[in-house]
Structure 1
Amino acid sequence: MYRKCVSAALAAAMLVSFPALAQDAPTSESQWTGSGELGLTSATGNARTQNINALLAVGLDEGRWHHDASAFWLRSRGEVDTSTRTGSTSAMEDTANRYGVAFSSAFDLSERSYLIGSLRYDHDNFASYLWRGVAAASYGYRWRDDARMRLVTEIGPGFRRSHDTSTGAVENEGIARGLVDFSWQLSDNTRLLDTFLVESGRLNTFVQNDLGLQVSMTERLALKAGYQVRYNSDVDPGFKKTDTVTMLNLVYSVK
């Protein structure tokens, strides 16, 4: 099932690797970075709800090469009333269950520009697409990237493979991928972050925006309030085009 998606992923990675073969990258000490986020909520009484979201991100810088990997999980459970002939009952049921992984490798062409190959997979039990895999090769440019502000854009072609929840059909299509990564240090301990991703093809246009405000408590611990919007232009009957998630997470970072 995944052979075509894997082949496309390898092709995207090769496209990024070819420029590196033509020139020697400067050697430097490898530098690892990492962060983890976790948010938990639980309510009891007149209504019962349980929610959890988690994110793990790891980065490795090796001279002109930059590698990033991440994984996320979102799950919500709520009390649902069910009517029967003998009355009504209530039980805890899943209302959201989404998880995914992503990986990218970038090679610097200059101080500001780079080529990047990216892979992304997500699975959602409550969406029009049960799962989706994307491979893309893009050109990136750092408009500004310092301690106070970061503005980076990426654009390029890709391939998407999706599983339609209602019909069970697997759809393949070429896409155009664009990304804007922005952050701004508002004060010594407060940072605004926003990541905008669009993947547009003939069958569907997917848009995701992650907005966050992070307040550092110590060198490694921070609190982060986040708001995520996900949009699909083409969905099956009974599904909404837009999903939103509001989060308050504890963040642990290693640099």
Structure 2
Amino acid sequence: MSTFKLTSLACLICASLTAHAKAPLEGEVELGVITTSGNTETTSLKGKVGITHDLENWKNQYQLDALYKKDEVEVNGTKVSQTTAQKVFVSGQGDYKLNAENAALFVYASYEDDKFSGFEYQSTVAVGYSDQLFSNEHSFLNYNIGPGYTFSKLEEGDKEESAVLRLAATYQYKLSDNAKFSQKLSTEAALESGQNTRSKSETAVSANLMGNLSMKAAYTITHNSDVKVGKEKTDTTTSITVVYLF
């Protein structure tokens, strides 16, 4: 990660944490592990940590998302274990609250290292406006919109930079007292012709098991509009995880 991108993300996180260190934190820890043996051997690990730091003037959100998968594959007639997925995503967003109930100005930074995407890394910084479109006893819809800049490095070593428009939305619907449906969408649309547009979607249903523990089933899609030859533009992940809320 370059000094600029590292500094952007570090400053966003450190400044908000140190400003009001005694403010309460809320969040969730998500973990899923799948291992098979016998005729087919696979190991899959998915972890996620999300933290919300709600202060008087700021509402800050941090996320760490990791995926690892190892499969048994056949190479030259011999079965060997190989890593087939390895991805780490980290992001931070600070929302400066305006006079309106849910309106805010945001600063956002992210970094992703996906070993099988064709990119050595992909990073984004953005600023803009966030608000809640509607909210009632069963559902709500939040959104962010604003300009930004992306930095990426291909596996071959070539670096790319592009101005983007970042759009993000979170919808949640209460299915029952113990279950909910959620849909998260984001896109970083390139403003220059021929540059990469990256989009993500997570569709999930979660149900409370007991206390602070829930079970979550999710389907995640990541799409890059411009990838190297031989790489797929769209990656999908289906997961079942246990979530601990705090």
- The answer, yes or no, to whether TM exceeds 0.5 is yes
Contact 2:90 2:110 in 1 (8 A): yes
Structure 1 residues 125 and 135, CA gap change in structure 2 (3 angstroms): same
Counterpart code for 2:62: A
Counterpart code for 1:251: V
Please say if 1:191 is aligned against 2:180.
yes
Write the distance in 2 (CA, Å) between the matches of 1:59 and 1:8: 19
Could you say what secondary structure the match of 2:226 adopts?
coil
Please say if 1:229 is aligned against 2:218.
no
1:141 maps to which of 110, 117, 131:
131
The two structures, once aligned, show a CA RMSD in angstroms of 2.0
**Which structure has the greater CA radius of gyration?**
1
The alpha-carbon deviation at position 174 of structure 1 amounts to 1.1
The alpha-carbon deviation at position 180 of structure 1 amounts to 0.8
**Unaligned stretches of 5+ residues in structure 1:** 18-26
Could you say what secondary structure the match of 1:76 adopts?
strand
Contact 1:9 1:136 in 2 (8 A): no
Structure 1 residues 10 and 200, CA gap change in structure 2 (3 angstroms): farther
Aligned length: 235
Q: Which residue of 1 aligns with 2:169?
A: 180
Please say if 1:65 is aligned against 2:58.
yes
TM-score (norm 1): 0.87
The alpha-carbon deviation at position 122 of structure 1 amounts to 0.6
**Unaligned stretches of 5+ residues in structure 2:** none
Write the distance in 1 (CA, Å) between the matches of 2:85 and 2:9: 28
> How high is the sequence identity, in percent, across the aligned residues?
25
Q: Which residue of 1 aligns with 2:41?
A: 48
Contact 2:9 2:92 in 1 (8 A): no
Write the distance in 2 (CA, Å) between the matches of 1:175 and 1:114: 20
Structure 1 residues 188 and 55, CA gap change in structure 2 (3 angstroms): same
Deviations for 1:6-58, whole angstroms, at most 9, x for unmatched residues?
576699x6xxx9xxxxxxxxx9x833101100000011111111100000111
Deviations for 1:73-127, whole angstroms, at most 9, x for unmatched residues?
10110001111xxxx2111100000011111110111203111101110100000
Please say if 1:206 is aligned against 2:198.
yes
Q: Which residue of 2 aligns with 1:80?
A: 73
Write the distance in 2 (CA, Å) between the matches of 1:51 and 1:112: 38
1:7-22 counterparts in 2 under 5 A?
none
**Structure 1 consecutive aligned stretches of length 4 or more whose deviation exceeds 4 Å:** 6-11
1:91-110 counterparts in 2 under 5 A?
91-109=80-98, 110=100
1:98-177 counterparts in 2 under 5 A?
98-109=87-98, 110-145=100-135, 148-165=138-155, 167-177=156-166
TM-score (norm 2): 0.90
